[in-house]
Amino acid sequence: MTDDPFRLFGAWYDEARAAEPNDPDAMALATATPDGRPSVRIVLLKGFEPHGFTFYTNAESRKGEELTANPFAALLFHWKSLRRQIRIEGPISEVSPAEADAYFATRSRDSQLGAHASRQSRPLDRRATFEAQYEEMKLRFSGRDVPRPERWTGFRLAPEKMEFWTDRPHRLHERRLFVREGDSWSEGLLYP
């Protein structure tokens, strides 16, 4: 047992990476509009450290616009094969342009080109339109590095609450809740 939620997250995440057959870094991201209308989707964790959990996206997508207008979110990791989940809540901030550039440079060329071709979350008349835009980007950047589009960035959730849920027989689950208090964490249990 540990009283450090990041150490516990790291241990569980390492186990998930060894045991989960697909996307152990997949997490549900819940956002809301300024008037409180929620939406949720799966994104991929690209980094975690004591100051937050980082993912990347198009800032002009629905999630990007919601995070800009209402900079609070929730994450959920669910590792079915391990019978565990982790819920995380907190404020959102944008990563620095240097961080976004560094991560964008690690993406496959096709993903980089796709980021330029996509008007993420906007209506699309037909698939062929997007495919044509992708081909146009291939030509535009032929023979040179693909720069990060300005609208493509990263966000970091700074956790204020982290709940670790473990499945137990007969729905007698275990729920450990960590709550940030300044620079430290308090820990308690929740009824299942």
Residue positions annotated with a catalytic role: 171
First and final C-alpha spacing in the chain: 19
Q: State the CB neighbour count (10 A cutoff) for residue 124.
A: 12
Q: Token pair of 16, please?
A: 């998930």
Count Cα neighbours of 118 within 13 Å in the Cβ-side half-sphere.
Answer: 16
Alpha-carbon distance 70 to 124, whole Å?
A: 26
Give SS3 for 14: helix
